[in-house]
Amino acid sequence: MKPDFIELMDTTLRDGEQTHGLAFSGIEKLTVAKFLLHDLKVDRIEVASARVSKGELESVKGITAWARENDLLDAVEVLGFVDFETSVDWIKEAGGVTMNLLAKGSEKHCRLQLGKTPEQHFADVEKTVDYAVSNKFNVNIYLEDFSNGMKDSRQYVYDFIESLSRQKVKRIMLPDTLGILTPKLTREFISDVVEKFPNMHFDFHAHNDYGLATANSLEAVLTGAKGLHGTINALGERTGNGALEEIVVAINDHTGFRCNVDEANLIKASKLVERLSGKRVPGNKPIVGSDVFTQTAGIHADGDVKGNLYVNKLLPERFGRTRSYALGKLSGKASIEQNLKELGIELSKEQKKVLLERVVELGDKKEIVTKEDLPFLIDDILKTPEEKKIQVVDCKIVSGYKTRPAATVVLKFAGKEHKGKGEGVGGYDAFMNALRKIAKKTGLQLAELEDFEIRIPPGGKSDAIVETTIYWRHKNKAFKTIGVDSDQVMATIKATEKMLNTVVRTLSYK
């Protein structure tokens, strides 16, 4: 291993699955495992705990079979327990060859939870390790509650690591199980064990109870840890684990070390896990949030125009994204100009002024304006001759109990009307299938739907306004459109109509 290289182990599929209300299916686990190892290029993944269920056994079998075919089996790890043969046999049946053995890293856990003396626990661990090694396993050891162990019973931790140093253990993994560490304590504890046991490989495993997981992981690396653990989107019990995406970028930007992880695929990994887990990523989540590369204040847009004055190392292009400039009550002339430039629309100075006034007015009313909305605002307030290039003229959706949803859509573009019919698992799915039939006949291009959100005001009134935001990708460019209506499906269709016009307008500017 290169001296400047930090090994990353992703535990989204094991520790991350301890997130409240989360359970991945077997096919979902396989999908995530493939992406983590093949596309994101994480060094190792921890995919399950032994003995959990028959379904979990089958999930691990699917992952190990794929990993074996792709020469990645050594990168797949399963949590095991100090139960002599049982966990090892389970992992062996599942096709695995690496066990992460969960042992007690604090004397309090050893005596109170296990009811054993340290000597008894150490002996049980050694017996389990010996059996695993006899089955040609790689063995790593978790010292559970290591952080409290170092605070309350440091000699116990030393004695345990000393015992492990005489066994065939590849890595000793040091978890801050309850997320109690500060960067100062992390520095003290990691440097202490590294100094006492310089020939051992130590991993650090952070939890985020105080919001310090990334900072603590950084300190662990700077004081001698050779590996770090994390989960995509910081999934995990309570407040979650260290966020892999934050840890990777922090190491690359704030230390002399490097990671194998492909930064350009961090956003894709986040979106994949978000979709499969059902756990939404906050818009301001570092690196992967939807808002993190958006400048809102007009002064920031102005500074970027005049010399990238509000730019740091976190360039969006590193992660396959682009910087955007929000439109709202804080917008300035530079914000408008940046967005118009991206759309390829030229306006006079006076027209820009009127447009800015309208954007600020809408922002005051808490209405969201996107870049894709600007052409429609221009058509409306400036009375320009440009109209919608594509219009949903008519749409009928039929849905009912024990009735497969069906849709009939009439679309007008290029001076002609085109009709399509489709069925689907829901009303909007039927609409999209009808739209795809029209697109196939006419050559119309559609963007790929990546995600959508539906927001309604509280109160539950039958006439409540529904706001649908849909996230699209077309020709590797991401954008979003918003539709508003009293009917949820129609709000979604209006957002889709904006997508169609955005795609056509973009193509016309090429």
Phi, psi at residue 464, to the nearest 5°?
-65, 145
SS (HEC) of 26-82? HHHHHHHHHHHHHHCCCCEEEEEECCCCHHHHHHHHHHHHHHHHCCCHHHEEEEEEC
Known catalytic membership, residue 358: no
Instruction: Please pick, among 17, 107, 144, 467, the residue that the annotation labels catalytic.
Output: 144
- In whole angstroms, what separates CA 408 from the centre of its chain? 36
How big is the CA angle at 243 (ends 242 and 245), to the nearest 5 degrees?
Answer: 145
DSSP class of residue 464?
Answer: -
Question: Within the chain, how many helices (H) and strands (E) appear?
Answer: 17, 16
User: Quick check: helix, strand or coil at residue 477?
Assistant: strand
How many CB atoms are located within 10 Å of the residue 287 CB?
22
Question: What does each C-alpha distance from 402 to 340, 399, 430 come to in angstroms?
Answer: 48, 9, 15
Nearest Cα to 260, choosing from 271, 251, 272? 251
CB within 8 A of 408, min separation 6: which ones? 394, 395, 396, 419, 420, 421, 434
Q: Look up tokens 């849905």; give the residue.
A: 399
Buried-exposed string 363-401: b where 16+ CB fall within 10 A, e elsewhere: beeeebbbbbbbbebbeeebeeeeebbbebeebebeeee
CA–CA separation, 345 vs 508, rounded Å?
A: 11
Which tokens go with 236?
Answer: 């995990």
Known catalytic membership, residue 144: yes
DSSP string, 354-383: HHHHHHHHHHHTT--B-GGGHHHHHHHHS-
Instruction: Please pick, among 7, 14, 171, 505, the residue that the annotation labels catalytic.
Output: 14
Q: Look up tokens 């739907």; give the residue.
A: 449
How many CB atoms are located within 10 Å of the residue 141 CB?
26
Phi, psi at residue 124, to the nearest 5°?
-65, -40
Contact between 225 and 204 under an 8 Å Cβ cutoff? The reply is yes
Phi, psi at residue 63, to the nearest 5°?
-70, -45
- What is the set of active-site residues? 14, 144
